[in-house]
Amino acid sequence: MSQIDTAPDTVTVRVRVTQLLDEFFSRLDRAESVADLLTANAEFRHGKGRDAVVELFLGLARKREEIGRTSRHSTSNITIEELGGGRYRVHSLVVVVSSDTQPEPQGDLLVADHEDIVEFDAEGACRFVKRVGKPVMKLGGLTVLSLP
């Protein structure tokens, strides 16, 4: 996969980056692979390389499923900075709401700042090169209300 020679216009960049973030978190919530959303040399936490990062995320999803936990991710406050060579630094705020299915359901709320590097290839596809999440707030043990 080669990088692009000229940068896409700012509207295209914003749309594709937003789509990438939405698709990534939607797949995490459904415990689906994110492999095609990552470059071959992608990094996240201690995972380096697409396969290691994919396994890390699928492992987290399997753990959630084992304990009956459901999560939903939402992204906002997206800012994008062009780095050159088809790469962009993306800052966003991620809110994660999770709940479990125990007899007395409880949930958590996590807020994290994300700083990502994304890359557009020659065909215009946008993928993650690096993801860095820094938790800024966590509320745990929240009572989950039943809705009719």
pLDDT in tens, the chain (148 residues): 555 556 688 999 999 999 999 999 999 988 899 999 999 999 998 789 999 999 988 888 888 888 888 889 999 999 999 999 999 999 999 999 988 877 677 788 999 999 999 999 988 999 999 999 999 999 887 676 554 4
Residues 65 and 34: their CA atoms lie apart, in Å, by: 17
Q: Report yes or no: 35 and 101 within 8 Å, Cβ to Cβ.
A: no
**For the chain, which residues make up each domain, given as ranges?**
10-143
Half-sphere exposure of 116 (CA within 13 A, CB side): 28
Structure tokens at 102: 């125990």
Q: Residue 14's Cα: distance from chain center in Å? A: 16
Helices 50-66 + 10-30 axis angle, to 10: 40
Domain 10-143 adopts which CATH fold? Nuclear Transport Factor 2; Chain: A, (3.10.450)
